[in-house]
Structures are given as C-alpha cells and as structure tokens.
A and B are shown apart, each in its own frame.
Chain A
Amino acid sequence: MNKPLAAQSAAAPTSHLASYPRFIWRMLVMATEGNWLFYAWMIGLSAVALVGLNAWATQVSQGMVVTNMSDHVSWGLYIANFTFMVGLAAGGVMMVIPAYLYHDEDMHDVVIIGELLAIAAIVMCIAFVVVDLGRPERFWHMIPGIGKFHFPISMLTWDVIVLNGYLLINLHICGYLLYQRYRGRRPNPKFYIPFVFLSIGWAISIHTVTAFLYQGLGGRPFWNTALLAPRFLTSAFVSGPAFIILALEAIRYLSSYKVGDGAIRILVNIMRVTILINLLMLASEVFTEFYTGGSHTASARYLYFGLHGHDALVPWIWSSIALTIVATILLLRPKVTKHPVMLITACILAFVGIWIEKGMGLIIPGFIPSTLHEIVEYTPNGLEWRVTAGVWAAGLIIYTLAIRIAMPIFSGEVSLAKDTARDV
C-alpha cells in the first residue's frame, strides 16, 4: 500500500492552500460517483432518511404526543437506539487497539474502517438525542458561554463532552491520514499517534459515561447496578467488531479492494471472548435479580416473564438471548473464519441480539413498573420507527460515503499526483 507514495510525492504541489481545497473537492466528486449499485443504495437510503425527516418534522410541530411515549415510559425507541449506537461507536476502536497497541500490521490497512464507523455512529448518537428533545431549537441552551452548561453535576453534560470529543478526535485522525495519503506523503506520527491513543481511552469513556447516565439514578433499581458500565463495554466490543466484519465482507464482495483474512480473524477472536463475558454478566444479573426477589426486582420480572399479565418486552428479550447464544455457538466453531456465510450469519445475529439488549431490553424496563409501581407498557409506534429508520439511513449514508472516499485514497488509486497529472 505504501509503494506508490514515493513516486507520487515529487510531482505533488506542496502548498496546503492549493492542495487542501483540491482534496475537499476530490472527496465531494468521489461522493457522487459510483456504479449503479452505489446509486441505487444511496437513493434508497436517501428516501428512507427523508421519510424519517418528515416524521420528525411532524413530531416537532405537533408535539411528542404523536409518539407512544408517556409520562410513565418517558424514553423509548430513540434513547434505546442512542444507547446502542454509543456502543457501536466505542466498538469501532476495537480495530485500533490491535493495530496500534500490538503493532499488528494486518490491522493497519483496515483500521480506518473502524474509525469511520465511529464517526458515523457518533453522528447517529447525536441525531437520536436531538430527535428525543421536546424543544430541539433550544439546543443552544447547552452551549457554554451563551447557555447554561450544568457541568460537572449533570452526567448528560459529561456525555455531551465525551461524544463530541470522540467525534472530533476521529474526524482529525481520519481526515489527517486521508489528506496525507492523498498528497502522497507518509503521515507524521506526531500528528496522529497521540490522538490514536487518546481515542482508545476516549472510546472507553463514551460508553462508561453513557452507562453512568442510567446507573446513577437511585430511583430506577433496574439501572442502578455497578455492572451496567462494564456490561455496556463488553457488549460494545461484540456489536462493534460484528459490524466491522460485515462492512469488510461487503467491501470484499462489492469492490475490488483486497481485505486480508488476518483482520477478520482478529475481530472474530475478540468477539469470541467478549460475547462470552457478556453472557456471563447476563447470568450474574439474572441471578441477582431473581434470587433476591422483592419489589426492587419487579422490572427484571417484567422484562423476562411479564408482570401481572403485562409482557410486551418478553418476546424481545428472549429473542435477544436466543440470537446471542446462537451467535456464540457459531463464533466458537473453529472454522467460522473459513465460512463467510456462517461468519456473516453469526455477526448479524450478534448485532441484532445486542441491539435489542442494549436498546429496548435496557431502557424500557427501567420505566416499568414506574417509580410508583404503576405498570404502563410501551411499544414504539409507526412514527417512532420512521424517525429511527431515518436516522439509521442517514448514518449509513455517512458511512458509505466515508468508505467510498477512503478506500480509493488509501489504496493509492486516487491521489493528488494523479489528479495533477490529469489536469496537465
């Protein structure tokens, strides 16, 4: 991958004033070019995103009464997806750790896939919080200086800092690496390696702080457990690698770029460990809730078996457990890395399993029964699904474009030297 660099660098102009706008322009051009599959995919995603945007616009103008949330279950599908997406963003860093901490050369070429995932996932996190706000136009109240930022008391302000910080760090790393590659220069370690290490610690912090949002609430016994943050991280290190494997397989089949088996093998090995630890933590939680009993464990009873005839979440959580167990069995088979179909199935099952567990299976039972022990159930309605699908589509648009741009630059197919040569 580094071979063409030396040859190109001689021809490239050196002024950033000339080459940076050129780099931005080249990215914009690449973002709108592709084969028919690319166009079909992007048009489909745009359509879903617009449907979601329309649903959200309706929600803002008519009020959140158009959702199925209530004063009893005051957070729903949006915050469920937000929580899961934080995990996905943090899980993206699982590419970075082997590459930089253990100097694994197989990972170096694909590490950017994980970092770009972090960027797309964080944008989706922020979008899921914004669509959950009753007054999104007042977001400026949170900006320090002109608004009131309740730091450090409110955990939500911590989350704002760590999520935006993580976004900036990853934007810097990806932007710098791509720009240097485009210019045909070897990236200067001084300008990105410190940020890579920062991003590793920061990835842990985003999911820990997000867990603290919930686990610090004494009035919600279901969330008020010290296991929440460690379990968040463990499940993030299942869903993150699962998604990256799916992305790598997609790149492998849909483009001409080479993806080595080494990276996938490492990710599978990570998942084999994390998915088992996650199941162990699940067992520990279930034991504590059901062996102890009493009214503090009512939420767990509601989640797993239903309470007083109310059982809306029971199919969700058992699906999640079943999906995770099947994924575990598939992943533990020694030959899974040799069988793409088996691997892809395992990754999809694990991803969906964690999506339920970290989403609907975690947020909703925190509210059922309510703090006064009333049971009011919640099932997301069509509008909430449309908004949610819209945010997912927007996130996938960002991720697709990012990879569409990054791969040709990283492989040397697109570079400043080639662009300049073509002009002359």
Chain B
Amino acid sequence: MTETEKKSGLSRRTVVKGLGATLGAAAFAKAIAPLTTWSAEQSVDEFLQKHYHELGPDEMNKVIARLEEEAKTDYGADVTISDPKPQAGVKFAYALNLSICIGCRRCAEACHKENNHDRATGNSYIRVLEMKKGSLDMEQGRVDYQGPVPKPDSFYMPVQCQQCDAPPCVDVCPVEATWKEKDGIVAVDYNWCIGCRYCEAACPYHARRFNWAKPQIPAEEVNPDQGYLSNRIRPQGVMEKCTFCLHRTREGKLPACLEACPTGSRVFGNILDPESEIRWVLENKRVFVLKEELGTKPSFYYFFDE
C-alpha cells in the first residue's frame, strides 16, 4: 500500500478518500441488493408495454400470450385471457333490494373466487354493512358482524364499486391508468398503474383495493376464464376494483355476485334496454344511490320493497 502510494505520488488524504468511496460503493451495492434481484426477475416486455388504449391487435395478442405464460410459470395454472369489448347500445346498471338481503356475504365470497383474489387476505370487492333499522347513516353500520343472520333489528347493505358516471378515482389518476368504458364500467390497466393509490383516497365508497403483495392462489383454485381488464391475476403494487365481472357480463352472463345471491336481492342489466328487469326496477321502485350529495352519479342503486 505505502509503496504504491509513494510511486504514484498519491497523498494520504486521497488514499483515504478513495478507500472511503470504495467502501461506500460496496455498502451501496449491498443496500440495493434486494432491488437488483427483483429487477432481474422483471420482464423487459412488461416494462416497455404500452397503455391499453395504444396497443394494436397484434401487440395485444402478444401481451396476452405473455400473461398466460406467466400464469403458468408463477401459479401453475392454464388460463385463457380474453379482452371483451363494450357492446354498442349497452350501459350496465346494478340494483340491490335491501328488504330481502340477509347479509350472508355469499356475494363477497363468490367475488373472491371469481376474481382470483389473494387467498391470504381473503380479499373481495364487496363489503357488507350490517345497519340498524331506522338509520341509513353508515356510521351506525358495521362490517365485522358475526353470528346468525339476518338479525331482526338489522338490515344489510353490500357495497362495491358504484361504477360512477362522474368517478373521482378516474379524475385523480395521474397517468390515465383508470378510465370509464363505454358500457359504464370503470376499468384499470394493471400494467400501466404506478401504484400511487390516489384513486383509493379519492373513492368515497371504499371500492378500490391495492395489491400490497403478489396475490397467492393455489393452482387448482385459479379461475381460468379471465378478462384482461377484470379478473386476471393482478401484479404486485397496482390498484384493482370491481368491474361488474366484465369478462362475464360482456358475454351475456351475469355477475358472479348476483349468481351467488340466495335471495334474489340483486338485479343487473342494460339500462338502455326498455324491456330489462333493471329498467323495471328503476321505473317502479323508489331507488336511491349512496352519497348522492357528492355528485358521483353512481350506476348502482338501492331500494326497499315497500
């Protein structure tokens, strides 16, 4: 050490500085190691992928092929991802009969399975509030109710994404990763979202969820019929939300939560079709929407029978 020092004419101070810099660089590399390992696992195609609206049909096919392959390698599941488009002349709406909902939470459970939610957290897009009869103030409600339902002094109010016509979540997104589709559904591009969670703060209905970790689902429990904008397994670190099961409803089927409901409380359909059941409910029942005073214009209605 001292030899080289003398030969190259380095001062002691420079050597100490150099040593310090080397140590610093080594410590830096050590500190950032988890990130280096992680970034090696990320796909370059995913990183460079364009926004949903910018993808041409060929590019979309490639993206879907990649995602299907990832589902195979990461989850051991053979899945089919489709990208159904909104149909002309269709605008979806949902109504829920609070007089007959018994609060069994089967809708929430069906959502959990249908939408490939993380098994560890038991996530679902639906939260069911147990409300005391005589009040519509949510402060009087609770979601952690237990015991046999329905309780005689209570009614039950499931809440999920209201698919607002003036959605605050869409307004606040800084990168247009969430938007309103032509049939009224508010969609998220899971491969474009940066995970800032501003939409989660903006939503007045607690409808949005964040993927705090990579979802865990056993291969045999993965729902293989997946939509690009809906129930495909979400990446870590991005937002997700209820899409009225668009992979089903755009193909003429009903949302999973409706099919699971044992009481028939749920009514779903095309609000532009005068013959539809949802139209009948809106025309003949005294319906209301949640937090109407906020001006969000929900497409989700509640009503009582009498």
User: Which residues of A are at the interface with B, using a C-beta cutoff of 8 A?
Assistant: 32, 43, 46-47, 50-51, 53-54, 56-58, 60-65, 67, 69-72, 74-75, 129, 132-139, 141-142, 147-150, 153-157, 160, 213-214, 217-220, 295, 298, 366-367, 369-374
- Given A75-B201, A135-B195, A137-B39, A142 and B174 touching (CB < 8 A)? yes
> Could you name 6 residue pairs across A and B whose Cβ atoms are closer than 8 Å?
A58-B34, A133-B195, A138-B193, A142-B194, A156-B196, A372-B127
User: Number of B residues whose C-beta is below 8 Å from A?
Assistant: 63
Which residues of chain A come closer than 8 Å to B66, judged between CB atoms? Answer: none
Tell me whether B297 is interfacial, beta carbon within 8 Å: no
Question: Which among A53, A75, A138 has the highest number of chain B CB atoms within 10 Å?
Answer: A138
Apart from A51-B31, A57-B32, A74-B210, list 10 A-B contacts with CB within 8 A: A50-B27, A57-B33, A63-B211, A64-B237, A67-B212, A70-B212, A132-B197, A147-B175, A218-B294, A374-B142
Tell me whether B238 is interfacial, beta carbon within 8 Å: yes
**Contact B159 A372, beta carbon cutoff 8 Å:** yes
Which residues of chain A come closer than 8 Å to B114, judged between CB atoms? Answer: none
Which of B2-10, B83-91, B165-173, B274-282 lies at the interface with chain A?
Answer: B165-173
**Contact B204 A219, beta carbon cutoff 8 Å:** yes
**Contact B38 A63, beta carbon cutoff 8 Å:** no
How far, in angstroms, from A142 to B177 measured CA to CA in the complex?
A: 10
Which residues of chain A come closer than 8 Å to B33, judged between CB atoms? Answer: 54, 57
Which residues of chain A come closer than 8 Å to B208, judged between CB atoms? Answer: 71
Contacting residues of chain B (17-50) with chain A, CB-CB under 8 angstroms:
17, 20, 24, 27-28, 30-35, 37-39, 42, 47
How far, in angstroms, from A374 to B139 measured CA to CA in the complex?
A: 8
Contact of B17 among A32, A133, A148, A214 (CB under 8 A): A32
- Given A65-B213, A137-B47, A150-B174, A372 and B129 touching (CB < 8 A)? yes
Contacting residues of chain B (114-129) with chain A, CB-CB under 8 angstroms:
127, 129
How far, in angstroms, from A133 to B211 measured CA to CA in the complex?
A: 12
How far, in angstroms, from A369 to B171 measured CA to CA in the complex?
A: 23
How far, in angstroms, from A142 to B294 measured CA to CA in the complex?
A: 28
**Contact A372 B201, beta carbon cutoff 8 Å:** no
Q: How far is the CB of A345 from chain B (nearest CB, A)?
A: 35
Tell me whether B291 is interfacial, beta carbon within 8 Å: yes
**Contact A134 B38, beta carbon cutoff 8 Å:** no
How far, in angstroms, from A150 to B20 measured CA to CA in the complex?
A: 44
Which residues of chain A come closer than 8 Å to B197, judged between CB atoms? Answer: 74-75, 132, 134
Nearest to A52 among chain B residues (CB) is B31
Which residues of chain B come closer than 8 Å to A54, judged between CB atoms? Answer: 30-34
How far, in angstroms, from A141 to B51 measured CA to CA in the complex?
A: 9
Interface string of B268-299 (1 = CB under 8 A from A): 00000000000000000000000100111000
**Contact B31 A50, beta carbon cutoff 8 Å:** yes
How far, in angstroms, from A109 to B142 measured CA to CA in the complex?
A: 60
How far, in angstroms, from A85 to B74 measured CA to CA in the complex?
A: 40
Q: How far is the CB of B37 from chain A (nearest CB, A)?
A: 7
Q: How far is the CB of B183 from chain A (nearest CB, A)?
A: 22
**Contact A61 B213, beta carbon cutoff 8 Å:** no
How far, in angstroms, from A67 to B35 measured CA to CA in the complex?
A: 16
Nearest to B209 among chain A residues (CB) is A71
How far, in angstroms, from A64 to B195 measured CA to CA in the complex?
A: 10
How far, in angstroms, from A369 to B143 measured CA to CA in the complex?
A: 13
How far, in angstroms, from A403 to B8 measured CA to CA in the complex?
A: 33
Tell me whether B206 is interfacial, beta carbon within 8 Å: yes
